[in-house]
Structures are given as C-alpha cells and as structure tokens.
Structure 1
Amino acid sequence: MPIAITPPVPQVKAIIPEEPKKRKVICFSDFDGTIFMQDTGHILFDAHGCGSKRREILDEQIKNGERSFKEVSEEMWGSLNVPFDDGFEVMAETLEIDRDFQTFHKWCLANNIPFNVISAGLKPILRRVLDTFLGEEASSHIQIIANDAEIKEDGSEWKPIWRHDNELGHDKALSVNEARQEAEMTCEDGTVPLIVFIGDGVSDLPAAREADVLFARKGLRLEEYCIENKIKYHAYETFADIQAKLEEIRKEDEEKTAGRGMPAIFNPRANLWRRVSSKTAIPRFAVMSPSKEEKMFLWPEAYTELKTPQVELTEIGSLNSTVQA
C-alpha cells in the first residue's frame, strides 16, 4: 500500500514594509530683519557713512523706481569711511538676534537640514556677525549666499562685488534654484527637495516665490504682501514658531510620501511664479497696474529703467487692426 506523502508547504516570505522616504529639507533665510532684528547695512551707513537722512532719501529712490537697487547700494557702501573692525563695533553693540534662532539652528544640525543665509548684503559682514553671535564653529555650518566685497584696510573704500549682473546685484531666485538643482542630485529615490524660505520684507519675494514652504515674520511687509495677494504662507514671531511648524510638516510629508509615492508638500504657486517671473511672460494684471515694489523686486530688468512700462498687448493690437479695417 503506497505511503501518503504530505505535499510541501510553500514558504511565504515576510513582507517588510518600505520605510517612508524622507525628502531632503533645505532652509534659506534672509538675514537683516529675519535672523537679526536690525539691518546691518543701515547701522553702518547711519554711524559711519551717508547718515540716516540721506539713506532714507536713497531708499525712497529705489521704491519709486528712480534708481536701481544696485546703483543706490553702491552709493551707500561707497559713503563709508571706517576700517572694518571699527565699523563692526557699532554693529556688535546694536544688533539683536532672534531669541530662538540658536536653538533652531541646533535643531537643523541635529536633523541634517542645511541652513543657508541668502542676502543682498555683503558676505564678510554677515560672516563676522554670525561668528560673533553664534561662535565660529556653529557659524561654519551656515552657508552664506551673498555679495562679496573689497574693503581697504584703512576703511577709505568699500566696494561691493556683485554675485549677478543685474539691477539687484544678487538674483535670490536664481541662487535658490541652483541649490534646488544640486539637492535633487543627492535626494533619495524618487524624492524631490523641500525648499523652505524665511523672510520679512517684500525684497525677499524673488527667493520666496521659489519656495515650497514660505515663512513670513508677523506684522512686516512680506506678510502684508502675502495677504494682499493671497499667497500661502506661515506667519512666525520667532524661530521657535518655524521649528514647530517644520516638525509638523516633516511628519506629514513623510506619511503622505510613503502612502502615495509622491511629495506631500507641493506649492503650485512656485511653478506659477517660475513661469511668470520671466520678463517675456509678465502677467497681464502686473503690466496694467504694477506696484512700485513689484517693479523693483519681481521684474527688475523690465521695470527699473522706466517708471511707466511700455507694453504691447496682443488684444489691443488686434482691436486697432479691426478698427482700421
């Protein structure tokens, strides 16, 4: 009689769920009015240069489109006549750092989040300020994306060395996008970097419009602009607010990325701005009634030379052709 043979039981391999993909988070922050409450340049100009009254006149010339940011800045920096170390003394006495920034920066380091300063100021000044207030070791972890400078030893000449050849001297939007492209090359499988921008003024818009997550300091011009133009943002009073929100966003981002296989945080405004920020694609509403600030900071190549932009509208041209016919 044949022996009954028990058929082999198929071996089932345990299915190990994939770990959530972690997107690379990169922080960019303005310097003056954001990390520090005061403007480093203004402190120097008022104490050792053109003075507060002349500076206010020059600031107004930028706002009303009479002169470019670069041209006015060169006059302001050129008005200084003080050795670097002596000029720094007044900054060290006057500057006030955001009370929660150092804790936030330590959090970034602990979570492998690159933190970059992006500024229209001068790199040697910003580095010296960070070295003094944070310590050189902590400061060394912060990349500064700003204009360089040539400063004579006796302080008789301060000359900005501009990052970019345009009316602003430093195209913050270009700098953010360059960092984004570099980060994409090092991101984990199929993920894209999450770009965070922190600012306070409307001059931050060129960089802010490229961000996936935007933080604007409460009560200042960048927040007002976001409200007026229905731009999504997160308000903050100190960097503690930013840290708490980023922790929340990172957790949500990881959960949704794992569940859908796609980024959780996506800012369609960023793509919109990338399309319309070109001088060949200025949106019609801005052409018809641009604000002074939009003229200067959104499309400097198109607006800084002319107070009243001359624009041909296709619809108007078509209408004229019809009337003549």
Structure 2
Amino acid sequence: MQDTGHILFDAHGCGSEKRQLLDEQIKTGERTFKDVSEEMWGSLNVPFDDGFEVMQKTLEIDPGFHDFHKFCVDNEIPFNIISAGLRPVLQKVLDAFLGEEEASKIDIVANEAEITEDGKTWKPVWLHGDSDLGHDKAVSMQEAKKQASAESKMANKQVQQEDEEVPLIVFIGDGVSDLPAAREADVLFARKGLRLEEYCVEHGIKYLPFDSFADIQKKLQEIIEEDEQKTGGKGVPARFNPRANMWRRVSSRNAVPRYVVMTPSKEKMFLWPEAFTELANKPIPELTKEPIAIPPQMVSPAQV
C-alpha cells in the first residue's frame, strides 16, 4: 500500500518534506523522473538490511493481494511486477511479506542497484539508461506483449489453431511512473484517488478504478467467464481474450476500427486509449467520410 522508496527516503534519506518537493518537480516537468530519483536514492545513508527494518515495520500489503495472486496462479495468468524502483528492494519485500515460495512465482522487471556494504552509496542501475524515465514501463509493456504473442503462437501451433490469439494485457497501477504504461494496456486498472487515476481523467483515458485487489479479481473473473462463453468452454486459455484478438486482427495501433466509436459498446475499454480518445473527439460526419472495411465476422445482426 506504500511506496518502498518513499519509506526509505523519509526515514534514512532526504526526508519527507524534501521528497515532496522533489516529487513536485517531476509532476511539473521541471526535472526528469530519472534525475530526481537519482537524487533521492543518492540521499540514502543506511546499510541495505537496516533499511529493510523500517520497511518491515511500515509496509502493508493490500488485503486482497494474496487471494488475487493465487487466482492468477490457479488460472495460469502470468503475473509480473513492473517497477521504477530497485529490484533488490522489491525482492526482499516480496520474500518477507509473501514468503519465498509465493514470491518466486512473480517476475520483477525493475532497475538493479549498486549499494555499498556500509550503505553510504545507493546508485540505481537503470534498466533504460538512455531514457529520462530510467525504466520506461511502456517499453517493458511492449516487450511483454511480444513475448506473450510469441508464446501464444507456439501454443496455437501445438493445438493446430489457425487464427492467431493475442493475449490480453492487463495493467494495474497507481503512481507517476505508471503513466507511460497506461497507454500500452488493453485493460487498465488505476487505484482510486492517486496520480494514475488523475492522469486518466485529465487525458480521457479509459480505466477501471479499484480500491483493493479484490475489486480487480472480481472484474477479471467476469472477463474470463465471458471468454469461456465466447470460445465454447475451457479449451482456450482464459488469458487469450478473443474480444481483444478481434480488434487486433483487423487493425494496428495506428488504425483502430473507427465504427466502434460511433456505437455504444462495452468493448471500448479494450481499445488503445490514445486512439479512442482522438477519434472520440472528432465529429461523426468527419469519420464517415472515409470508407470503412469491416470483415463479415465482425458484423452482428443488430448492426446489419
């Protein structure tokens, strides 16, 4: 429920007041996320194990997280943590709060770190050193999509399935570093009242608000059940969402099916947000000037 870095900075580094000033510099664009983060991590003066003690006393795990993670494991849904923080810190936290066995089932995509034994030097080793973000989560999301698609193709070959199934990418976030990833997700969950939700509201990005991981689990269960109905049973892995596949087979990120914005539909949240936002702001006459090719299998009797 708290940011691991913030807990360390407040207790053993620049302090709460300075940290909030630095956070504001990121928000206003005065300084880059990477630049400010290096100053924050560089302010720490505490051995790694001693720093973990304050996290162990302060951190709280979302009450719905254990059940949610079990739900993902039981349904063969790959689960990853994509963080702008330091991987050694996150691994230590997961091992302590979840147990090493459960934590071993979670892949962490984050920055490495160089920490001296006396704790006087903490230096991030950025995952994307040439980016102002240090770790560009949008890039990590794109890489995850490629990997998931490759695994899907392999699975399709094994079951001799002709149509390509593209896994649905779900992203759960709350803060500033999650903003780049927000536009890469097929389904986006944003914790209520925090920066990611504010960003989505400001930029008209479709998202699903949540208070606890229990909310997310309930919604994903609905998606899985709908998938199973559309695919005729449990023969197709739940993480392969035919609804998302349908859009992607006939479009790319630069060519979302335009007729969708003209008709009310629950499918809107699965469109790429920036494309939907741009199209939704255009008047209907302008959209209809261009011919629209719709494959027959995508046209329902109601639309005809």
What is the TM-score with the length of structure 1 in the denominator? 0.69
The question of 1:65 aligning with 2:37 is answered no
- The residue that corresponds to 1:284 in the other structure is none
Instruction: Tell me by how many angstroms 1:52 deviates.
Output: 1.2
Of the three residues 267, 272, 276, the one matched with 2:275 is: 272
Matched position secondary structure for 2:61: coil
Of the three residues 123, 132, 144, the one matched with 2:108 is: 144
Instruction: Tell me by how many angstroms 1:250 deviates.
Output: 1.4
- The residue that corresponds to 1:167 in the other structure is 132
The question of 1:207 aligning with 2:181 is answered yes
Of the three residues 147, 155, 158, the one matched with 1:182 is: 147
Matched position secondary structure for 1:150: strand
Within 1, Cα distance between the matches of 2:221 and 2:77?
12
Within 1, Cα distance between the matches of 2:209 and 2:271?
19
Q: Is the 8 A contact 1:254 1:264 kept in 2?
A: no
Q: Is the 8 A contact 2:166 2:241 kept in 1?
A: no
What's the C-alpha RMSD, in Å, of the aligned pairs? 2.2
| Pair 1:55–1:126, CA change in 2 (3 A) | same
Q: Which amino acid aligns with 2:242?
A: P
Q: Is the 8 A contact 2:170 2:188 kept in 1?
A: yes
Matched position secondary structure for 1:186: helix
Within 2, Cα distance between the matches of 1:45 and 1:256?
49
Q: Which has the higher helix share?
A: 2
Within 2, Cα distance between the matches of 1:172 and 1:262?
23
Within 1, Cα distance between the matches of 2:112 and 2:223?
34
CA deviation profile, 1:75-116 (whole Å, cap 9, x unmatched): 111111100000000000000110010111111111111110
Instruction: Tell me by how many angstroms 1:147 deviates.
Output: 0.5
Within 1, Cα distance between the matches of 2:273 and 2:166?
14
Within 1, Cα distance between the matches of 2:47 and 2:17?
23
CA deviation profile, 1:26-78 (whole Å, cap 9, x unmatched): xxxxxxxxxxx111111111111111121122112212222111111111111
Q: Is the 8 A contact 2:191 2:210 kept in 1?
A: yes
The question of 1:263 aligning with 2:242 is answered yes
Instruction: List structure 1 segments (4+ residues) > 6 angstroms apart after TM superposition.
Output: none
Instruction: Tell me by how many angstroms 1:202 deviates.
Output: 4.3
Q: Is the 8 A contact 1:43 1:90 kept in 2?
A: yes
Matched position secondary structure for 1:215: strand
Q: Is the 8 A contact 2:227 2:242 kept in 1?
A: yes
Within 2, Cα distance between the matches of 1:212 and 1:79?
37
Between the two proteins, what is the percent identity of the paired residues?
Answer: 68
Q: Which ranges of structure 1 fall in alignment gaps of 5 or more residues?
A: 1-36, 276-325
Within 1, Cα distance between the matches of 2:2 and 2:122?
21
- The residue that corresponds to 1:253 in the other structure is 227
* Matches for 1:1-325 after TM superposition, within 5 Å: 37-164=1-128, 165-187=130-152, 188=156, 189=161, 190-257=164-231, 263-265=242-244, 267-270=270-273, 272=275
Q: Which amino acid aligns with 2:48?
A: F
Q: Is the 8 A contact 1:256 1:262 kept in 2?
A: no
Within 1, Cα distance between the matches of 2:108 and 2:241?
31
CA deviation profile, 1:281-302 (whole Å, cap 9, x unmatched): xxxxxxxxxxxxxxxxxxxxxx
Q: Which amino acid aligns with 2:41?
A: W
| Pair 1:226–1:258, CA change in 2 (3 A) | farther
Within 2, Cα distance between the matches of 1:170 and 1:258?
40
Which is bigger in relative contact order (C-alpha 8 A, separation at least 6)? Answer: 1
Matched position secondary structure for 1:185: helix
CA deviation profile, 1:3-28 (whole Å, cap 9, x unmatched): xxxxxxxxxxxxxxxxxxxxxxxxxx
Within 2, Cα distance between the matches of 1:166 and 1:145?
16
Q: Which ranges of structure 2 fall in alignment gaps of 5 or more residues?
A: 234-239, 248-269, 279-304
Residue correspondences, number = 238
Within 2, Cα distance between the matches of 1:194 and 1:117?
16
Within 2, Cα distance between the matches of 1:229 and 1:81?
39
Within 1, Cα distance between the matches of 2:172 and 2:126?
22
Within 2, Cα distance between the matches of 1:77 and 1:262?
40
Instruction: Tell me by how many angstroms 1:185 deviates.
Output: 1.1
What is the TM-score with the length of structure 2 in the denominator? 0.73
